[in-house]
Structure 1
Amino acid sequence: MNAILFQSANVLDVASLQLKTGQDVWVENGMIKSVGPHQADVFIPSGTKVIKAEGKTLMPGMIDCHVHVIAAHLNLNITANQPNVFATLRALPIMKGMLMRGFTTVRDAGGGDWNLAEATRTDMVEGPRIFASGRALSQTGGHGDGRPRSDVIEPCGCSSRVGALARVVDGVDNVRLAVREEIMKGANQIKIMASGGVASPNDPIHYLGYSEAEIRAIVEEAEHAGTYVMAHAYTPKAIHRSVAFGVRSIEHGNLIDEATAQFMAEKGAFMVPTLITYEALANEGESLGLPAVSVAKIETVRSQGQKALELLAKVGVKMALGSDLLGESHRHQSEELRIRASILGNGAALQQATLNAAELINMSGQLGVVKAGAIADLLLVNGNPLTDISCLLGQGDHIEVIVKDGKVYKQA
């Protein structure tokens, strides 16, 4: 039996946004067995790991719903074209860094696959639990097509290299096959490019990705496999048509307007804003090798991101936390919490990184909570994030204990 007892912790209830003081939390075989008032004379079975938690906050492991664990460079073409073994090895410190910041689960939005997910699940390497999308799907010339402008287009953008975040596929029959292939290879959900983007050469932000027939086919195939579709989309038109065609999760969404936000709320679609990536790209992108065409696009979406966050909250769209960082900027991951807390408050930021994120990945009640029957993903924090979000920032400096699946990965 693998058992842990957190003694006399202040347990963060992310639903009520209250601290329950003086709680004992028992963990057995990867699950939370019980949560209740501290008992000084309780029998503790031999072999139980006892962690003194008085005065500290015990909270759920956080969930980042938009990462790219394979993205070791800001220039995605460099990432895509590096040797496979380099792409894999460079992902290892990225994944460990995420876990050490308290993100015990991530949803990879393109590039991360079943192999990396299985490697972290089996402790072959240290990293978060990964809900992988495999290769994101992009139309020719879309956000996932990294081929340069040329007199002759290279014959295939359907890269299967480990470092490739996306694959190019066009046509209803072909996108159906692509979804089936990604699901067969172990994708937990399907990612599509539904508008232009920043870190790609040939697609202005206003470009629309995929026809209605293609998107509906992708959604139908994902639903047949018991999962859903997430879509990269910035503009109101790109967002509206994606949701209308059955997409469940919109990524970024910086340029959304009120009518489109209301439509999302009516349809129960999620938004995953990724504000920290634009700060990082604006401040460091050029010096770290981001192509000039991408640097020029940043301000188009950066300035609208915080306004979009306020609008989405006002209308009642469910939001989950995402970061979308690349290369050296992965170290800024926790700053997404700071940005959201400064606009929406600490409680909302915490819920987006726990409850809402768990619901989005279809893990409600299993992740993102500290309660009996949930998976034991836990953080023991020196501080109270309800009143001071800074205790979760940086590289996990104030997180004293990190538990994933009932196993201790950090104990200060």
Structure 2
Amino acid sequence: MRLVIRNARRLDVEKMEFVEDGPLVAEDGRIAGIGENAPIGAADLEIDAKGSFMLPGFIDAHVHFRLATLDFARLQRWSEVEYGIVMARLAKETLQRGFTTVRDIGGDVEGLMRAIKAGMAEGPRIFRAGRMLSQTGGHGDAESGPRPVPTCACEMRHTAFGIVADGPDAVRKAARHNLRDGSDFLKIHVSGGVASPADPLESIQYTAAEITAACEEARHRQTYVAAHAYSAESITMAVENGVHTIEHSNMIDAGAAAAVARHGAVMVPTLSTYEAMDLLGRKMGFPAANLAKNSKVLEAGLKSLEIARDAKVTLGFGTDLIGESQARQRREFAIRAEVETPKEILRSLYVVNAKLCKLEGQIGTLTPGAAADIVLTKVNPLENIAALGADDAIEGVIQAGRPVS
């Protein structure tokens, strides 16, 4: 398919400014040329953008399609058919919001990816961690109810969400299993979490030896480890033992931020999810203990951004919205805008996230050879990036050269 877009103001991500440099031509899903260098000719589809702003497709570096509802009791009961139906809907809605690439950071999404590739479902390009790795009683230990005492230290359990693995050898085995099954990177938990029932936020999870084992296996496959971490101690322990991305980081302090920067690691804030849980949690039956944990990280969110910026930490862009709350995905722009400039947010979205997905030059840019993933909007994000969150902000989404319905 050959697509031509005329009269758009294109975002030059390298310069971080809008340019009017002639038509964009896409062929077979990739940008073939722009302006004078564009191979103008007959088009299968021609779009007159009428002065709209043309952005690369959005990239979300922290999603969970497998966590398909905020009603966690239902998650325990659903069949794979029910999961498939809801996950396919969430994927399509994500694409319609302009997110053409996502980094799925925990849960089995193999079937969803195959369905998208085969054209059976619509959704973004997915860069995935596969099942999350967790210690017994950690944030990724998702099974409810009583469980038998393990018969040996090496015994592992798993669900569609994660693998419970204790000790360096078990963590190594779980990491190798995920990588064998096609995970693009690995995800571990090194602190407590909001949604899990049994672990305090401040709890430290995994040891240096366990973290090192996962990071070594990732490095051997030329990839990296992401770590769920809230507390300063868990963040520092993670980056000092090889973790590349720290997810959330709401309770970071100056010392931990300095450690992240010193090790060249990346912090991926996910602030919209705490606002969403605060608004929707009670309606969905969240226990009081979980709501209390959420309030703590919600309050700390913006301060964590300020601490990270002062330490010159590289920031990605993520949302971590679950199930019904994923509709608030573009709300992250407005929250981040309370602390950061539009250019800083767009660099996180396009430059840092493209590197995290190992697709530099292919996504997050509107240049020849890149994927023809495009968002057309009436909003100038360099002037008012928060306005991208409005329901009517997006005029059109194009994925691989084809308009999204």
TM-score above 0.5, yes or no: yes
Contact 1:191-1:230 within 8 A present in 2 as well: yes
Q: Does the 8 Å contact 1:23/1:38 carry over to 2?
A: no
The answer (yes or no) to whether the contact 2:190–2:205 under 8 Å persists in 1 is yes
1: CA distance between counterparts of 2:114 and 2:312? 36
> What is the distance in 2 between the residues matched to 1:37 and 1:9?
15
SS state of the match for residue 272, structure 2?
Answer: helix
Choose from 21, 34, 50 the match for 1:54.
50
What is aligned with 2:320?
324
Kept after mapping to 2: 8 A contact 1:192/1:230? yes
Q: Which of 295, 300, 306 matches 1:304?
A: 300
The answer (yes or no) to whether the contact 2:67–2:75 under 8 Å persists in 1 is yes
* Counterpart residue number, 1:36: 35
Partner of 1:131, secondary structure, is strand
Distance across 1 between alignment mates of 2:261 and 2:35: 36
8 Å Cα contact 2:271/2:332 also seen in 1:
yes
Rounded to whole Å, the distance in 1 between the matches of 2:214 and 2:77 is 27
Which residue does the alignment assign to 1:23?
22
1:16 alignment partner AA: K
| Number of positions where the alignment pairs a residue of Structure 1 with one of Structure 2 | 402
String of CA shifts for 1:20-57, please: whole Å, max 9, x gaps.
Answer: 02431111111111122699xx8412x43111123111
1:181 lines up with 2:185 in the alignment? no
Separation in 2, partners of 1:151, 1:380 = 51
Deviation at 1:320, TM superposition (A): 1.0
Which residue identity is paired with 2:6?
Q
- Tell me how far apart the structure 2 counterparts of residues 200 and 137 of structure 1 sit (CA, whole Å): 14
**CA–CA distance in structure 1, aligned partners of residues 375 and 308 of structure 2:** 29
Q: Which runs of 5+ in 2 are unaligned?
A: none
Deviation (angstroms), 1:75: 3.8
Q: For residues 117 and 158 of structure 1, what CA distance do their matches in structure 2 show?
A: 24
Equivalent-residue separation in structure 2 for 1:257 and 1:280 (angstroms): 24
Looking at structure 2, the residues matched to 302 and 365 of structure 1 have their Cα atoms a distance apart, in angstroms, of: 34
Q: Is residue 2:391 matched to residue 1:392?
A: no
Match of 1:203 among 188, 199, 205: 199
Question: 1: CA distance between counterparts of 2:356 and 2:300?
Answer: 24
> Cα offset for 1:401?
2.1
- Corresponding residue SS for 1:23: coil
Counterpart Cα distance in 1 of 2:110 and 2:362: 21
How has the CA–CA distance of structure 1 residues 220 and 81 changed in structure 2, closer, same or farther, with 3 Å as cutoff? farther
The residue aligned with 2:402 is 407
1:25 touches 1:36 (CA, 8 Å); kept in 2?
Answer: yes
* Contact 1:147–1:157 (CA under 8 A) maintained in structure 2: no
State the shift of 1:394 in Å.
4.1
Alpha carbons of structure 1 residues 363 and 325: separation in structure 2 relative to 1, 3 Å: same
Match of 1:12 in 2: 11
- Structure 2 counterparts to residues 249-268 of structure 1, below 5 A: 249-268=245-264
Match of 1:229 among 225, 231, 237: 225
Aligned partners of 1:3, 1:85: CA distance in 2, in Å?
Answer: 36
1:94-133 CA-to-partner distances (Å, cap 9, x unmatched) read 1111111100001111114232223223322011111111
Q: Distance in 2 between matches of 1:392 and 1:74?
A: 25
Tell me which amino acid in the other structure corresponds to 2:388: L
Any conservation in 1 of the 2:65–2:323 contact (CA below 8 Å)? no
- Counterpart-to-counterpart distance in 1, 2:56 and 2:310: 26
Which digits, 9 at most, give the CA deviation of each residue in 1:220-265, with x for residues without a partner?
1111122111000001110011011111000000011112111211
Question: TM-score with structure 1 length normalisation?
Answer: 0.92
Range with greater deviation from structure 2 (256-265 or 343-352): 343-352
Percent identity reads 39
Pairwise CA distance, 1:149? 6.7
1:142 aligns with 2:141: no
Cα gap change, 1:260/1:51 in structure 2, threshold over 3 Å: closer, same or farther? same
Change (3 A) 1:316 1:19: same
Moved more, 293-302 or 112-121: 112-121
Moved runs in structure 1, 4+ residues, more than 4 A? 148-157
Corresponding residue for residue 272 of structure 2: 276
Matches within 5 A, 1:72-91: 72-91=68-87
Further displaced range: 113-122 or 87-96: 113-122
* Separation (CA, whole Å) in 2 of partners of 1:34 and 1:93: 33
Q: Is the 8 A contact 1:117 1:131 kept in 2?
A: no
Q: Is the 8 A contact 2:171 2:213 kept in 1?
A: yes
Q: Which moved more, 1:91-100 or 1:77-86?
A: 77-86
Question: CA–CA distance in 1 between the matches of 2:79 and 2:390?
Answer: 31
Amino acid at match of 1:44: G
